[in-house]
Amino acid sequence: MPSTDLALDKGLPVNLDAERFVLGSIMLDDSLFVQVAGTLQADDFALEKHKRIFIRMMDLHERGERVDRVSVANELLKHGQLESCDGLTYLISLDDGLPRTSNVDGYVGIVRDKALLRRIIFTSQKLIDRCLIGEEEPEEILACAEDSLLKLNDLRGKAGLASPEDIIKEYEGGINAFLDPSKRIKGISTGFVKLDEMTGGFHPGELIILAARPAMGKTALALNIAQHVATAKNPQTVAVFSMEMSKESLLTRMVCAAARVDSQKFRAGFLNQTERHHLQTALVQLAGAPLYIDDTAGANLMDIHAKLRRLKVEQGLGLVVIDYLQLMSGRGRFENRNQEISTLSRGMKMLAKEMEVPVLVLSQLSRAPEIRQGDHRPQLSDLRESGSIEQDADVVAFIFREEVYKPDREDLRGTAELLLTKQRNGPTGKINLVFLRQWTKFENRAADLGETNEAPPPDED
C-alpha cells in the first residue's frame, strides 16, 4: 500500500482514550495536575478540545484555584470555548471507563509517544514539501532535516532537576572521585603549560573566544592547539571550520609548524633533504590524526551543527575550532550586524553545551588597540560588533605581540602575550609565549618547560 493511502487509511497516531483519562484523572484529583504539567504540554493533545481544556486547567492552577469539572467548565465559558468543547456533559464523561486505580503516568506516556510520532510526520511532510518546491540547495534541506529530527529527540530526552545525591550517583567514581581533585574530570590540554595551569584545560560546554588584530597569529595559535589535541598521546577528534583559508593552506601551515620548516621556503620549493624528510614525517603523523577541516565560505550555524552531529556519532568529538566569527552568516533577517553577531554568539554557546565539547572561536577586534595611545594591549571593550560575545563566552583571551607596534626593538622579537581577560571559572592574567614567525608557530617559553624551544640547525644537502 502506498504511504499516502496508508496515512489516509490509518490517520495520524493518536490515543483518545489516553488523552481523556489524563484529563479525567486531573478532574478527580487536581493534585495530579503538577505531575502531568511537568511532562505534557497542550500541543501534545491531538484533539483541539483537549488542548483547550488543558490550557484552561493551567490558568486555574496558576491562579491557585481548584481544578474540577465545574471550575473548568466555568473557565471555558468565560473564554467562549465551552460549546466548542461539547459542554459540561463532555467534561463529566472524561473519566468514563477510567480504572479505579488511576495509572496517570502510563496515560501520560502514551500521549507523549503519540505526540512525538505526529511531530515526526509533520516535520517529514514539511521536508517533503521543501524538496518538491526545490527552491533550496539539497545540502541545506538535508542539514535542516537532521537538525529538525534530532531536535525532536532532544525534546523527548530533556533532563529534569537533579538533587546533589543524584549528581553524585551519576558521577563516574562516586563520592570519592567527586571529592578527589586528582580524579576529577580535567579539561583538554592545549599544549601550552601556563594556559593549562590557569584554565585546567578546555572543558566540555565552554565557549572560548580567541581574539586579536589582524596578523597577530589567531589562526596560528588555534591550529597549534588543534594539532596538539589531535596528535597527543591520547588524541581526540578535532573539527576545524575555516571561512578565511582553504583546507590546503591550513594543512600546509600545520605541516610546516610540526616539521619546523619555513613556510615561505616550502611555498617557494627551496628545501633541503632534511627539511623534506621532516615535512614527510609531519605529514604522515597528521594524516593519521583525527583532525577534520571544513573550508566552506560563509558557513552558517545550522550547517556546522549538522556536520558536528554526524562527526560526533561516527568519530567522537573533543574540540571544535571556528575561524572566524565575523565571517559567519546568520540565518534569517536581522536589523543590523550587531544583532546577527549576537545571535551567532549565543548559538555557539548553545552548540558547545549541546555537543558537550569546548568550542574555540576566533574573533576580530576593532581598531581601538591601534588608536589607543601608549599601551596597545586589547581590552574586552575592543571585541568587534557585539558586546554579547563577552557575555556568552566562558573564556576570552587576546593575543598581543608588541613587536608588531615596535619593529625596531630587537628585544621584543619573538615575544608574545596571551591575555586571559575573562574566565568564568578561574583566574585571569597574562601568559608569556614565544612566537616563531618563520614557522607560524607559538610555543611555551623555555623557562616554563625547563628546556629550550630552539630547533637544531638543518643539515645541508
| pLDDT score for 202 | 92
Distance from C-alpha of 393 to C-alpha of 359, rounded to nearest angstrom: 10
Dihedral, 213, 218, 219, 220 alpha carbons, nearest 10: 120
Q: Are residues 229 and 377 in the same domain?
A: yes
Sign of CA dihedral 300, 302, 305, 311: negative
Q: Is the peptide bond before 324 cis (omega within 30 degrees of 0)?
A: yes
| pLDDT score for 391 | 81
Q: Is the peptide bond before 171 cis (omega within 30 degrees of 0)?
A: no
Q: Are residues 48 and 134 in the same domain?
A: yes
pTM: 0.65
Print the domain residue range for 244.
Answer: 186-449
| pLDDT score for 77 | 92
Decide if 166 is inside a domain. Answer: no
C-alpha cell at 60: 486555574
| pLDDT score for 321 | 94
Q: Are residues 198 and 149 in the same domain?
A: no
Q: Are residues 143 and 192 in the same domain?
A: no
Q: Are residues 126 and 218 in the same domain?
A: no
Helix (H, G, I), strand (E, B) or coil at 81: coil
Decide if 164 is inside a domain. Answer: no
The residues assigned a catalytic role are 244
What residues of the chain score a pLDDT lower than 70? 1-10, 100-102, 150-151, 153-163, 167, 170-173, 177-178, 180-185, 329-335, 384-387, 450-461
Decide if 460 is inside a domain. Answer: no
- List pLDDT tens digits, range 205-249: 999 999 888 888 889 899 999 999 998 888 899 999 988 888 888
Q: Are residues 125 and 203 in the same domain?
A: no
Contact 56, 32 (CB under 8 A): no
Residue 74 sits in a domain of what CATH number?
1.10.860.10
| pLDDT score for 197 | 87
Q: Considering its fold, how many domains does the chain have in total?
A: 2
Distance from C-alpha of 249 to C-alpha of 263, rounded to nearest angstrom: 10
